[in-house]
Amino acid sequence: MKASSQIQMSKFQPTHFDDTVNLSDEHPLKEFFVLLTKTLLIIGAIYLIIGITLEFFITRMSVEREIWLWNKLGITQQYVSRDISIDAKGKNKDPAQQYVQRLFNKIPDEIKPEGYDFRVLLSNEADPNAFALPGGTIVVTRGLLDSLKTENALVFVLGHELGHFKNRDHLRGMGFGFAGLAISALLAGQDQGVLTTLSGVFGLGELSYSRHHEQEADYTGLEALIGVYGHAGGATEFFEAIMALDNGITDYIPTIMSTHPDSEKRINVLKEIIKQRNLEVLETKSIQQFKAPDKL
């Protein structure tokens, strides 16, 4: 009886629910930044792995494979249709473009890398620039022609771009570029604005990638200049023109300078080479002036 009464007298005491057990002691903002940091590190690691892998194979492919791949991608054609004056038959009849091509053709064949059917295109962009596209295309902007006083300097620039083909520099950075675009596309989906921004962010890592290759390309530019004119006159003019633009208009920095070493240093290196090799520096030839087309 006593045991029974004791059981009856005991009452159930409900336990209060603790609603804080799943709450973190960390501040939400701190958790967010930790998660963001980890995500960025993972994305960065993926970017490096993909970029290094692609870079390894791209820079080692044959010229024939390079030309085939670039034609398949159709990037040169897209650039041409957007920015360069081409007639209905696919030919550029711009006298300025033909002039630049004739100068390029004067460069001795032994300076030009084998396997390419080189062509030079004149872009209507105002920025003074020149660059090599995979597949054997060299693009020169009208802004570059306007900034140079002699055709000797233009031949040096064309030879410089040949140096990039010779050293396969025009392929360097493509692996990281493709990796960045792939990750950007995954993150942005169809949002073109976000895609453009992310592509620019990933591209920042490539700006310094080719700087140590520029000096080698300058050597080829000098060889092209000597091969055409027999002397080194005009070798430093391009860099002097760039320095004048950079000093005069701080907001107008040419695209070509974004990956190039300091112009003054390159001028000094070229002058030292000319001195060591006892090269002549003779009179240069004025560059021809052309009126810009009214329409692309």
pLDDT of residue 65 exceeding 80, the answer is yes
Residue 30 CB burial class (10 angstroms; 0-12, 13-18, ≥19): exposed
Task: For residue 156, give the amino acid letter.
Answer: F
Average pLDDT over residues 270-296: 87
pLDDT of residue 291 exceeding 80, the answer is no
Q: Please give the full DSSP string across 187-244, using - where no structure is assigned.
A: HHTT-HHHHHHHHHHHHGGGTTTTHHHHHHHHHHHHHHHHHHHSS-TTTTHHHHHHHH
Q: What is the pLDDT of residues 204-254, one digit of tens each?
A: 444 443 667 888 999 999 999 999 999 999 999 999 988 887 665 434 444
Delimit the domains of the chain by residue range: 95-171+210-290
Average pLDDT over residues 263-267: 89
% of residues, the chain, pLDDT over 70: 69
pTM > 0.75: no
Q: Name the pLDDT band for 103 (thresholds 50, 70, 90).
A: very high
Q: What is the pLDDT of residues 140-155, one digit of tens each?
A: 999 999 999 999 999 9
Q: Name the pLDDT band for 48 (thresholds 50, 70, 90).
A: confident
Average pLDDT over residues 188-215: 53
SS3 content of the chain, % helix, strand, coil (to 5): 60, 5, 35
Task: List all residues 6 or more positions away from 44 whose beta carbon is below 8 Å from its beta carbon.
Answer: none
Average pLDDT over residues 185-194: 60
